[in-house]
Structure 1
Amino acid sequence: MQFKKKSGVVGAQSPLLRWVCGSEQYGAHAIGRLLRHKGSFKKALDLGAGTGRDLEIIRKSSPGVELFGIEFDAQQCAILKSKGVKTYQVDLESSRLPFEDEYFDIVIINQVLEHIKDIFFILHETARVLKTGGYVLIGVPNVASLHNRALLLFGQHPTQAKSYSAHIRTFSKQDTQRMIELAGNGVFQLVDFAGAQFYPFPKKIARLLSSALPSFAFSIFFLFQKQSDYTDSFYQYGKSLTASTFCKNSLK
């Protein structure tokens, strides 16, 4: 069965979506707003960096920043390197990050966690390499978006959680914030929140609606700040769950 792709939205066959700008769900403008007035960053890391789109946002606000990217796809690694990004080809679910503790001022994890089965190992490594006082920016699809609520009302499945898609986890504002605070044992505090993309509206209207009603947007973005020294709370939380795999491994 063939799935059509319109406006960057996989499977978007409905005529209602013909004006939707698919790239809006990645939230470049939302990321820029969240990072505004947060000072200049010296070292920035992007987990699942792709072609470096989000790192370019940081480079614009912090021209002297040293950029690092973790990416598994070899072709995208080559693109990152061509842009001056220090690139490491690493499997996020099975390998420790090749950096010392408290190395980065900011870590970005945008549109990645929904693809990950065992997220606590990744969150552990993120907290480990992030400086105290630094930021982690997380972007995920919102299962509680307005269009998903409407779909469920009519007995349809949420678009962010299709069984035949690459997404294996779902996120909403309250649940994600609770997970980070609970599993992290208070190490992270939410300091800002934003939304991006608003089905089925065109770009200008979508931006207005996602700004006014961020928790109803297609994608949601969290800016957490690391409040204190980190030991291994995410790792231990993951280890306590029977579904965890990588947190069963030794940290040594």
Structure 2
Amino acid sequence: MTTTAPPRAELRDFYENPTVPVASGTSRSLRQARQLAAALGPATADGPRTVLDLGCGDGTAAATAAPLLAGHRLVGVDWSQEALTRAHTRLPYAVRGELGGDGLPFAPESVDAVLFSEVIEHLTDPDAALDEIRRVLRPGGHLMLSTPNLAAWYNRALLLAGVQPVFSEVSLRAIHGRPGREVVGHLRLYTARALREFVSAAGFEVVRLTGAPFHGVPRPLRPLDRLACVRAPLASILLLHARRT
């Protein structure tokens, strides 16, 4: 789930731990894949388009998207060797790469699209990450980014009650002050407005910003969570489609 080498041994060990979740929800992966398939169109006689799944984790999300991107070349990229070992069982191409340090192992302007699902919230330097994505994307290339929404409908209520928002974390060792049981290593969170401004400032044109539900919402509240997707600023998950300028 991370393609940037963490600066501290504690973070590195955290992401190499096989018990740490490395896959997004299937529904979210399908939504992104449909949006990307519509943007790319079918493969042409000129050859397949190259699509990177940055922070591919165990390859589940890319494998879910693959049937919708038939004819295109889908390459999984991750920093974690543990995650790549699992990704190789699901993807024909999976390589090690970083969004910081030495950068991605791809030439400038050599990639047609990037899937960037549930990664940016894990990064210590998201600015450098978007710079590197912009470097490898061709002009007009597509960025499909998803990330949890700090201002999700229930987080607004939790903050009013003095409760730590869902998705936010204060420790890599345990959950403190918020609902949930899993520690997943979130370092940064975005609202819809912040995400749009951040991506635009990095040299991308935002095409569309939509919402998606979160699989971790308690079952009785899931109808409300789906309803909130009508307005992206209230949704659990933000799905952003941008193009490199």
Question: Per the shorter chain, which TM-score range?
Answer: 0.7 to 0.9
SS in structure 2 at match of 1:212: coil
| Runs of 5+ consecutive residues of structure 2 not aligned to the other structure | 1-19, 43-47, 173-184
What amino acid is the match of 1:220?
Answer: L
- Contact 2:60-2:90 within 8 A present in 1 as well: no
1:156 to 156, 160, 163: 163
Q: TM (normalized to structure 1)?
A: 0.72
Would you say 1:170 and 2:171 are equivalent positions? no
Q: Is the contact made by 1:25 and 1:196 (CA closer than 8 Å) also made in structure 2?
A: no
Alpha-carbon displacement from aligned partner over 1:62-93 (angstroms, at most 9, x marks no partner):
21211212112223212322334322223433
Alpha-carbon distance change, 84 to 201 in structure 1, aligned in 2, over 3 angstroms = closer
Residue 205 of structure 1 aligns with an amino acid whose one-letter code is P
2:57 equivalent in structure 1: 50
User: Which residue, 87, 102, 121 being the options, matches 1:114?
Assistant: 121
Q: Decide whether aligned partners of structure 1 residues 143 and 132 sit closer, same or farther in structure 2, where only a CA change above 3 A counts.
A: same
Q: Distance in 2 between matches of 1:170 and 1:204?
A: 22
Q: How does 1:81-160 map to 2 (within 5 A)?
A: 81-160=88-167
**Could you say which structure has the larger radius of gyration?**
1
Instruction: Classify 1:91/1:104 alpha carbon distance in 2 versus 1 (closer, same or farther; 3 Å).
Output: closer
Distance 1:26 1:151 in 2: 25
Counterpart residue identity of residue 132, structure 2: E
Question: What corresponds to 2:31 in structure 1?
Answer: 30
Question: What is the total number of aligned residue pairs between the two structures?
Answer: 204
Counterpart AA for 1:190: V
Aligned 8 A contact 1:191 1:224 in 2: yes
Bigger drift between 127-136 and 156-165 goes to: 156-165
Displacement of 1:150 in angstroms is 0.4
- In 2, distance between residues paired with 1:26 and 1:192? 18
Q: Assess if the C-alpha contact under 8 Å between 1:191 and 1:223 holds in 2.
A: yes
**C-alpha deviation, 1:196, in angstroms:** 1.7
Change (3 A) 1:189 1:147: same
What TM-score, normalized to structure 2?
A: 0.74
Q: Residues 209 and 79 (structure 1 numbering): CA distance in 2 closer, same or farther, change over 3 Å?
A: same
Judged with a 3 Å threshold, the aligned counterparts in structure 2 of structure 1 residues 31 and 49 are, in CA distance, closer, same or farther, namely: same
Q: Which residue of 1 aligns with 2:242?
A: 224
User: 1:225 & 1:130 partners in 2: Cα distance?
Assistant: 9
Q: Which amino acid aligns with 2:135?
A: R
Identity %: 26
**Distance in structure 1 (CA, Å) of the matches to 2:221 and 2:112:** 32
Question: Pairwise CA RMSD of aligned residues?
Answer: 2.5
Opposite residue 197 of structure 1, the aligned amino acid is P
**Deviation (angstroms), 1:205:** 2.1
Q: Match of 2:199?
A: 180
Tell me, what secondary structure is at the counterpart of 1:70?
Answer: strand
Partner of 2:206: 190
> d(CA) in 2 for partners of 1:193 and 1:71?
25
Q: Which residue identity is paired with 2:238? A: I
In the TM superposition, what whole-angstrom CA distance separates every residue of 1:186-245 from its partner, at most 9, and x where no partner exists? x31111222122544559625631431222121111010113xxxxxxxxxxxxxxxxxx
Is 1:208 matched up with 2:214?
no
Query: Aligned match of 1:76 in 83, 87, 93?
Result: 83
Indicate if the aligned counterparts of 1:114 and 1:167 stay in contact, CA closer than 8 A.
yes
Contact 1:26 1:110 in 2 (8 A): no
Q: Render the CA deviation track for 1:96-120: whole Å, top value 9, x for unaligned.
A: 1111011111101111111111111
Query: Residues 207, 63 of structure 1: CA spacing in aligned structure 2 closer, same or farther, 3 A cutoff?
Result: farther
